[in-house]
Amino acid sequence: MSGLEDDAFAALVGLIESTWSGVTAVLREEQTGRANWENRLASGALGPPFVVVMLGPSRPEGWGIDNQAFRLPAAVTLVVSLTDSGAAVSGGSDVTGYLLQQLGQLRAALISYVGSAFQLAGDHPTLDASVKSEANQVLLNLQSPLQAGELSAQLLIGASP
């Protein structure tokens, strides 16, 4: 990844850590060999709550001759334990509701972000805490007592003169 993507990732990590202070790790999704979050979780090297950030690939925006602007897809996945006491919402244990609440806080932070690393491109970020999401399918296949929620956004990185 180029410096622009690295800057966007660093800014996202800052937003994530300021929004969700209790996460044990913020990982950048990598598929190099077997160094991915699924294998780290299966081996016991990773425990909840943790966050996985997947970026890219970035694509030129295609407008303006001198623009150095790129559209960068970003997915932020929050993984929590089904037995996490932090998931107690209004007197009951509603993990899906808890995930949506937490993802909503990050969405608000992204919408109000005013730094120079990125800006939102197009629509506001979307949230998905359904059991049919890719992350939850992985967790089901691992027979793990965890549940995930995902925020998806399109970021605009770079600059225009």
**Spatial CB neighbours of 74, under 8 Å, sequence gap ≥ 6:** 8, 12, 53, 54, 55, 152, 153, 154, 155
**Cβ distance 151 to 72 under 8 Å?**
no
Q: What is the pLDDT of residues 45-83, one digit of tens each?
A: 888 899 999 998 888 876 666 668 889 999 999 999 887
pLDDT of residue 64: 63
Rounded Cα–Cα distance for residues 21 and 56 (Å): 25
User: Residue 47, Cα to own-chain centre: how many angstroms?
Assistant: 16
Which residues form the domain of 106? 3-159
What's the total number of domains in the chain? 1
47: CATH: 3.30.2000.30
Where b means 16+ CB within 10 Å and e means fewer, 48-75 reads: bbbbbbbbbebeebeeeeeeebbbbebb
pLDDT tens-digit profile, the chain (161 residues): 468 899 999 999 999 999 998 898 898 886 555 568 888 888 888 888 999 999 988 888 766 666 688 899 999 999 998 876 555 444 445 888 889 999 999 999 999 999 999 999 878 899 999 888 888 898 888 888 889 999 999 999 987 54
